[in-house]
Chains A and B, each alone.
Chain A
Amino acid sequence: METIKNQLKEIMVNDLKIQGMKPADIRDTEPLFGDGLGLDSLDAVELVVLIQKHFDVQIADMDEGKKAFASINSLAQYIEAHKV
């Protein structure tokens, strides 16, 4: 699980290019959207595609996405539960 979280943080910084942050700066419980990391709906699309690319896990609909994208923790748990 820690490996997945670290990978996700690397993706946020290197692929999504979150400005002014290093992977270690991102807290596991920080909200990804809105007031936390400040990602928007366009980033949600990019994240869905990146997750499929890096973990081969597909987020199929917005109900699943809403739960998974709450924080790094929830996203890592989702990936862990759906990895093949």
Chain B
Amino acid sequence: MMGKGNSWKDRLEALGHWFFYVAMRLFGHAGGYVLLVPVVFCYVLCSRKIHDITRPYLRRRFPDHGFFRLWLDTYKNLLSFGQVLVDRGWLGLNRDASLQGDFVGYDKLLHAIKQGRGVVLLTAHIGNWQTALAHLENLPVKVHALMQYDQQAVAKHYFDLQGKTRSFEIINADGPFGGMIDAAAALQRGEAVTIMGDRYVKGSCSTVDFFKSPVRLPDAAYLLAACTNTPVVVLLVANTGWGNYQIRVWDPFYPQHENRDQRPAMLKECSEQFALILEKHLNQYPFQWYNFFDFWKQ
């Protein structure tokens, strides 16, 4: 849902964002949430495409739901995503604003960092993940984010809206060697590298089961960790209410392989572990999955 140019759709999207920004400037954070309800309802009612892009996940998460329940599930899914966008926009508009939340397992993360070997923070397009990134500025080490950074997107990352300084450095995943050399160097210095572990764009991947269907997941994060002897810590964010969220740190794991021949099996095992963690999280927060495309065909 990111605009990339000056087409009428991009202008319409920009106009839509403008309405939300105005609502929040006039009525505060709640203004955005209230405006969201009829907007999402209209999308769900009028857009066939919305159902096409949410059904691949919802049908697998709720295999026993019929037509009307799936329609309601789509509404809940989109409303949840809309709340994330409103939160992001609110934080971007107000330098002093913050969201309420807690960081479960923060001590596990600190313990992993204190080992001095660096840490790979694996996350996914679930919950308010970008806001969670902002909280990493409290970590005792420098944080890097290995990501594709679209600077032409209409929906600006919140740290750009007011020229706010990012709490982490971006390593461009579109750069030479997919940014892996910079990431390895950062880990070798004992720093943290966050990587999105769900969307596969290019490069190495493993095919694993996710909600009982095979899916390709990117697995470079595990090789990075294995080569630098670094723990992988999965970090997932859940929206727990209006303006509230929870960052949860899962138990670290340590990818290892003896040689290149063992690499594929190691990568697959780690990918399976990550898929299982995603399933557990989504079993608890089923409407916070924000990969709006057929994830099983990526």
Contact indicator A45/B181 (Cβ below 8 Å): yes
Stretch at the interface among A20-28, A55-63, A75-83: A55-63
- Max chain A Cβ within 10 angstroms of own Cβ: one of B185, B223, B259: B185
B177 an interface residue at 8 Å Cβ cutoff?
yes
Report the nearest A residue to B224, measured CB to CB.
Answer: A45
CA separation between A17 and B180, bound complex, in Å?
Answer: 20
How many angstroms between the C-alpha atoms of A20 and B16 in the bound complex? 58
Q: How far is the CB of B117 from chain A (nearest CB, A)?
A: 12
Question: Which of A58, A59, A61 has most B Cβ within 10 Å?
Answer: A61
Min distance, Cβ A62 to any Cβ of chain B, angstroms:
4
Within residues 220 to 244 of chain B, which ones have a CB less than 8 A from any CB in chain A?
220, 223-224, 227-228
- Could you tell me if A58 and B188 are in contact, using CB atoms closer than 8 angstroms? yes
Contact A45 B184 (CB under 8 A): yes
Instruction: Give bound CA distance, A16 to B263, whole Å.
Output: 11
User: Which positions in B face A, CB cutoff 8 Å?
Assistant: 175-185, 188, 203-204, 220, 223-224, 227-228, 259-261, 263
Which B residues are CB-close (under 8 A) to A44? 177, 180-181
Measured between C-beta atoms, what is the minimum distance from B228 to chain A in Å?
Answer: 6
- CA of A16 to CA of B260, assembled, Å: 6
A71 to B21, CA, bound (A): 52
A-B CB proximity, top 10 nearest: A17-B260, A65-B181, A44-B177, A41-B178, A62-B176, A66-B176, A49-B227, A41-B177, A62-B181, A45-B180
| Chain A hits for B188, CB < 8 A | 49, 52, 58
Instruction: List residues 31-66 of chain A with CB under 8 A from any CB of chain B.
Output: 33, 40-42, 44-46, 48-49, 52, 58-66
Bound-state Cα–Cα, A33 to B178, Å: 13
Supply 15 further A-B pairs (C-beta < 8 A) apart from A42-B220, A48-B227.
Answer: A40-B203, A40-B204, A41-B180, A41-B203, A42-B180, A44-B177, A45-B180, A45-B184, A45-B223, A48-B184, A49-B184, A49-B188, A49-B227, A59-B181, A62-B175
Q: Is the CB of A65 within 8 A of B259?
A: no
Closest residue of B by beta carbon distance from A43 = B260
For the complex, what is the distance from the CA of A52 to the CA of B181, rounded to whole Å? Answer: 12
Q: Does A30 contact B (CB under 8 A)?
A: no
Query: Interface residue count for A (Cβ, 8 Å)?
Result: 23
* Chain A, Cβ-Cβ closest to B260: A17
Query: When the two chains form the complex, which single residue of A17, A33, A48 contacts B185, counting CB atoms closer than 8 Å?
Result: A48
A21 CA / B261 CA spacing, docked (Å) = 15
Q: Which residues on A sit within 8 Å (CB–CB) of B185? A: 48, 58-61
Q: Which residues of A contact B181 (CB under 8 A)?
A: 44-45, 48, 59, 61-62, 64-65
Q: In the assembly, what is the distance between CA of A58 and CA of B259, in Å?
A: 21
Report A-chain residues with C-beta under 8 Å of the C-beta of B227: 45-46, 48-49
7 residue pairs bridging A and B, Cβ less than 8 Å apart: A42-B203, A45-B223, A45-B227, A48-B185, A49-B188, A49-B228, A60-B185
Interchain CB contact under 8 A, B259 and A17: yes
A69→B176 CA distance, assembly (Å): 11
Chain B residues whose C-beta falls within 8 Å of the C-beta of A58 in the assembled complex: 185, 188
Say yes or no: A66 contacts B177, CB within 8 Å: yes
Distance to closest chain A CB from B285 (angstroms): 32
* Alpha-carbon distance between A63 and B175 when the two chains are bound, in angstroms: 9
**Chain A residue with Cβ nearest B173:** A41
